[in-house]
Structures are given as structure tokens and as C-alpha cells.
Chain A
Amino acid sequence: MTTSIKKLPDIEQVLSGNGACGGCPATMALRIVGKALGSNAIMLLTPSCSVASMGMTPKLGYNWPGINICFATAGSSASGITHAVEILKEKGRLQGELPTVFSWVGDGGTYDIGFQALSAAAERNDNMIHFCYNNEAYSNTGVQRSGATPRGTFTTTTPTGKRQPKKNMALLMLEHNIPYVATATVAYPGDLYDKVVKAKNIPGMKYIEILAPCYLGWQFDMPETVQLSRMAVKSGAWLLWEAENGKISFNNPSSLIISGKKGADPVDEYVMKQGRFNRLLKGPDAESRIAEIQGDIDREIAFMRERAKITI
């Protein structure tokens, strides 16, 4: 059973008064992550919204020691810290329980510039959790395309709508043979919480990707973050799944969509809600471009359904 939002621990690792936008999904997600991780952890951040909004040197708005690192280096930097704390503990120079080492990184620092170092850390199976809070664009620099930006999205660097589909980063991480991979989103806090608790207790490399609808980049009304997050899941544009030791299982409500017990909502309503997509409707090729978005979603659902059948 998924933990109810009412049963989440009281501990708050995101302190009051930081500089994030109202309705910021990354901050919302980090709050839930904090409840699962507790305070004995070391946090790594790459240049992103979560750094820009966390407060000024030497303080930070998160109740962990936090190190801001070079953009491309989440994987390698977290490796450095995890090996350091382990050897220092072995040598008796660090007392108490080993802290959890985790990276809190956007889709740019995960899918794009950070991909190489993350892939290598995964291949080494170094002991860390890599969180990707995925708002499907470079929101911090004013919304440019990333490898996580879905086809059809308007960004400042895709001024007629992106022509290529996004890549499936969580699946790519799974193919590194790491012990735990999960996807989540803020509309399902209990699901996210349970996945982080699970990851925390598994040694080796863990990857958790959290879809983070960003009102600025996606162009919807600020109070509707959670609603957009839920619509993404119900339309099948975001699938909730986890894989322990390579075996994929889907979580509700994505499991219903995958099993065919419940059809995915048509993408139209989800698209219409967002300025980043609905500008397509003004173009002469509106119909075919919306069909492309639907096609990408349908293909991903079909592909993941088949991929999950491989259990060797």
C-alpha cells in the first residue's frame, strides 16, 4: 500500500522562506524527499532553479550540507563524496551512521550536460541516489529546450515547437544494470515517498526521476502544478514505474493504463492546458502536430508495456 499523504513524517528538510516560484514542483518534491531521507544526508546540486532559489552563502534553505558543483559533474562529484565518507568511516575519522549521498539535479544536468558522468557513476554502481527533477526544459535560464523536452513544445530555442521526441532517461539508467530506478511526480506524494525510502535502503546506484510541471516553462496557472502533474500521468504522458534489480513494475494509475484496464485520457486536454503546446493550435499543421504528441505517448506506453515483460 502506498503511504498516505497524511502519514508522511513531520520532519521538514526544506526550510521556510526560500526563493522558489509559487507552486514550484521541484521544491514540493524536495520537501517529500526530505521526509523520506531525514537529516543524515549530503546534498549535491548543479546550477539550476534549486540552487538559484536556495539562499545565499553560507546558508541554504535546505537542512542538509549542500555543495553546488560544476554542471556536468553530478555523477562524478557524488562518487567522490560517497567514496570519501565510506573510507573516512573505515579509517575511523568519521563517526556515526554513514550519510546518504544524493544529487538534486534538473533535466539539463541529467539528460544533457550531466549524462556522461552520471552514466559512468551508474556503471560503477557507486552508492548514491540521483534525483532528476524534470521540468522538461532549462527553466532556470528562461526555458530553453533540453533532451527531456517533448516533441511539440515551444521553448525559446524551439520557437516553432520542438521537432524531436524526448529520450527515456529512466529507461537508459535501467539499462546500466543498477539496483533501483523509479519515476514519480508531485501529484502522487505517497508514491514518491515510498520510492525514496526504498532507494535509501538499497546499496549502490539509485535513480529517481520526478516529473516537475513548471508553470513558467509549461505556461499554466501557478496554482495548478499538482493538477498538471496528475493530468500528465492520466494521459500517459508520464508513466509511474519502478524497477528493482531490473524488473519493472508499474504503479497506480499508470499500471491500469499499461494493463489496459483503464484507457489513458486523450492528450488534448493536457495539451490545451499548457501554453508551451497550445500555440501549435494556431499553426496550419495543428492537427498533425497534436497527432505527433499523441503518437509519442502511445508509442512509449506500448514500448514500456513490452519492455516490462523482459525479466531476465
Chain B
Amino acid sequence: MRKLGATAATGTVLALALAAWTHQPPRPEQGGGTISGKVKFAGTKPAMPKIDMTEEPKCKAKYQGVPTEETVVVNPNGTLANVFVYVKSGLPASYTAPAPSGDVTLDQDGCRYHPHVLGILVGQKLAIKNSDGILHNIKAKGVKNRPFNISQPTNMVSERTFTAPEVMVPLECNVHGWMHAWLAVLPHPFSGVSGADGSFTLKGLPPGTYTIEAWHEKYGTQTASVTVAGSETKTADFSFAGK
């Protein structure tokens, strides 16, 4: 309890210092509201094409069976993974995002991207890691952000940042045509990706009415309007249907 108090005190001091330093009023989102939910999947689960990694024995060895593409990943509990859920609009005009803490890592492992879908703040560093130690190139095909295409022929980390909000910046490797990832560049930290249980959580929202968008690479987008006040938790579920 004492420790917690000390942490809280330190946190407050830091927050105040930061607020004083940036000449911003204290942020309302500390504490703040939460929006969470699940992304359900209805209909027929499409069969994902198998990836032939014969050309890359190092990657092939990382799988027991034959790896498949990750365009549609339906979880065992019938939910849909890799759905990017974020606040599309509704933040007050005066809102400014906190300075990014830490980097976001995108790993190339087993000739696939981990994670397959990810979010990043404007100005935050994306650390692009090659854990395979074989030739990859990483190409970002932004439209609002400048694109780039860099070679990574060995175990290494390259860093890049993004200047403008954009959902999504497609990332790809041209050596391995099956490798795709999706990067959302946002001006705020209110986003999440549905995981292995299909759930997502957006935390620390200032009070307000938000348009929440759920984005999936194959099934497109859905939106929901959610109002949060104080530190309450609201639920927003989405459902995508296989065709």
C-alpha cells in the first residue's frame, strides 16, 4: 500500500512536471473512461492459403505444420483476431497526445510479421526487427506518410517514424510476397487490436462521445458511437461476417 502510494505520488509529480513543462492543462484522461468489447465472427471461416516457404528453409523450420496466411484469423472461441479498434473522432480539439513512451516493435520472425496489425503514435519510433537473419526488405506504402523501402539482409533493427495520422499504412516484404502487416498511425493512444480471445480495450479516455471504428483488412470497417463519462467502462462489440 505504501509502495503503491509512493508510485502514485511519483506519477503525480511526473505528470505535473510534464504538464508544467508542456504548458498544457492537466490531462483529463488520467484515470478516464474505458471502452472494451469483443469482435465476433459470423458465417463461414475462409480457408487461408498455405505459404510455401521452401525457398527459405530457416523460416520453414520454425513451423511444425505448413504455415498459412493471416488475412483472416478466427479464434477458437469464434471471435476475430487482428481487428484494429480505435477512436476515429470525438476527442476535444484541445486534446494533445502524451509524448510517446518507448518504441513499437515489429518483428520479422518465421517470415511473418509480429504483430500482424499494430498501432503507433505520430512521431513514435517503429523498431523494425529482423529476427530471421535472412534477407527481408520492409516497405511502407503510406499515402499521407512518406513511403520507405529498406533492405535488412541480416539480424538487425531499423527505426522509422511517421508524421501524419493514417489508417492504414500497408507494410510488406517483396522478397516474400506473402508477408503483409498493417500499421495504424494515430494522433492519440486510444486504440487496440483484437487478440486471441477477440477482445480489445481502449483505456484512459476523457469524457465524451466517440466514434469508434473497427478495421479489418479483408472485411473493411464498422463504427459505433460510444459515450463515456468519468472513469466508467463501456462495452462496444463488433461482428464481422465471412462471405
- Do A and B truly interact? no
Q: Which residues of A contact B (CB under 8 A)?
A: none
Q: Which residues of B contact A (CB under 8 A)?
A: none
